[in-house]
Amino acid sequence: MRPRRLVVVGDVLLDVDTVGSVERLCPDAPAPVVEVGTERRRAGGAGLAATFAAEDGCEVVLVCPLADDPAAAEVVRLLRPAVTVLPLPGRGSTPVKHRVMAGDRGLVRLDSGSGAVPDGRVPPSVREALECADGVLVSDYGRGTTSDSAVRSLIGEVAARRPVVWDPHPRGADPVAGSRLATPNAAEAAATSGLAGTDLAAVGAQADELVRRWSVGAVAVTLGARGALLSHGDGIPTLVPARPVHGPDPCGAGDRFASRAAVRLADGAVVSEALESAVEAATDFVAAGGPSTGGPPMATLEQVRARGGTVVATGGCFDLLHAGHVATLQAARRLGDRLVVCLNSDASVRRLKGAPRPLVPASDRARVLEALECVDAVVVFDEDTPAEALRRIRPDVWVKGGDYAGGHLPEQEVLAEWGGQAVAVPYLDGRSSTRLVRAAAHVPDRPRRNR
């Protein structure tokens, strides 16, 4: 089973966070003095949405106008190897959003760059990617990509046969007719529909109007802490409430919502199922600290370490989760304050175990793992080993099952780069996914009763 292919189309940005502490004011102005601690860089805009989709186990292609400047090169570097970038010929410069933070609170944001705009030419590689896609996510940041007639025409062709999720922007173009789902936030829905009000009745009317105006299958209006409201244009809307969470930085939650909805629709889910999963993903992202996590929807590992806590990681394919897996995960979680699971992507599992593995796609394997109380976050990696994922997470402890005790792990050299330690924990003997697969393959069919 190959991984689902999702094409993300939109505008990319470079997000830079300079994080420090504030303990005094400047003597010559009423301004805080920031003692700089760390700097975080990540792909923003459609790049962030593409990153989220890759973490959910999709094979992701990002189609975007790309400027010829250092910021664009940095965005591509940050996205590889999880995301394949196919540039659209264009002009302009890469937008850079630079936030200065005191801990998890923003003090000021400095914006630069005009934005890269496509010039109407679409390379054959882009056409081929869209033709082979299982789904498309349009991540509009109002920079001109979604207004390009050639781009819109191609997306319209895809919408006739595959799910298209359109995350709109006030300065962007309307979704193409036939899109499966549009995901405006409450302010965008009110402004675009021309209907005022913030109560559920008003939001429902706004969503109904946008379904008709845009000629899309459904509109999901994101409502922040209230969840999301889904309308198909008539009948009773569906409201999916969000669980109460406290997160200092909700920036990026909309991208998390739209990306998860697109992934689930590409997996074959119906719109209401995709909406439930999208609300859950966005809520988890905010609860984990939002963009301050540096990418994946995990607890803020830097803050854990700053408090003297211990970050633990473990990894594997987890194809058919069984009691042996659960025992290892529970033991690993008891060794520290946060547990991150490095999960082999579908392509990685196939290279390691051969066809027809995996039996369960990465998006579903990640969802099952995330539902376990002992797991704080899941990071999907596409390589044969989790070395690069470990370099991003930098765990204090790397855990493997007891069948590795006394052996040598290739990850040990990687952990030595920052002083991490590999350990083995007891493993429940006789439990394995391979054994389950073999047993299931030899179970005889029950004889059918005559009726």
Q: Which of 11, 255, 382, 396 is catalytic?
A: 255
The separation between CA 144 and the C-alpha centre of its own chain, rounded to angstroms, equals 23
Q: Own/partner pairs for 157-160, CB < 8 Å, 24+ apart?
A: 157/130, 158/7, 158/130, 158/131, 158/133
What are the beta bridge partners of residue 340? 313, 377
* C-beta separation of 220 from 181 below 8 A: yes
* C-beta separation of 9 from 137 below 8 A: yes
The separation between CA 372 and the C-alpha centre of its own chain, rounded to angstroms, equals 19
Coarse DSSP helix, strand, coil percentages of the chain, rounded to the nearest 5 percent? 35, 25, 35
Residue-by-residue pLDDT tens, the chain, 451 positions: 567 899 999 999 999 988 888 888 988 888 889 888 778 888 999 999 999 998 888 899 999 999 899 999 999 998 988 899 999 988 899 999 999 988 767 889 999 988 888 888 889 999 999 999 999 999 999 888 999 899 999 999 999 999 999 999 999 999 999 999 999 999 999 999 999 999 999 999 999 999 999 999 999 999 998 999 999 998 899 999 998 876 556 778 999 999 999 999 999 999 999 999 999 989 888 876 666 544 444 445 766 776 788 999 999 999 888 888 999 999 999 999 899 999 988 888 888 888 878 888 887 888 888 888 899 888 888 788 898 889 888 999 999 876 655 567 778 899 999 999 999 888 766 555 556 556 555 555 455 444 3
Domains of the chain: 5-293 (3.40.1190.20), 301-438 (3.40.50.620)
* C-beta separation of 240 from 188 below 8 A: no
Tokens for 333? 């979680």
The pTM (predicted TM-score) of the whole model is 0.67
Rounded distance, CA 391 to CA 135, Å?
Answer: 31
255 among known catalytic residues: yes
The number of residues making up the chain comes to: 451
What are the beta bridge partners of residue 65? 88
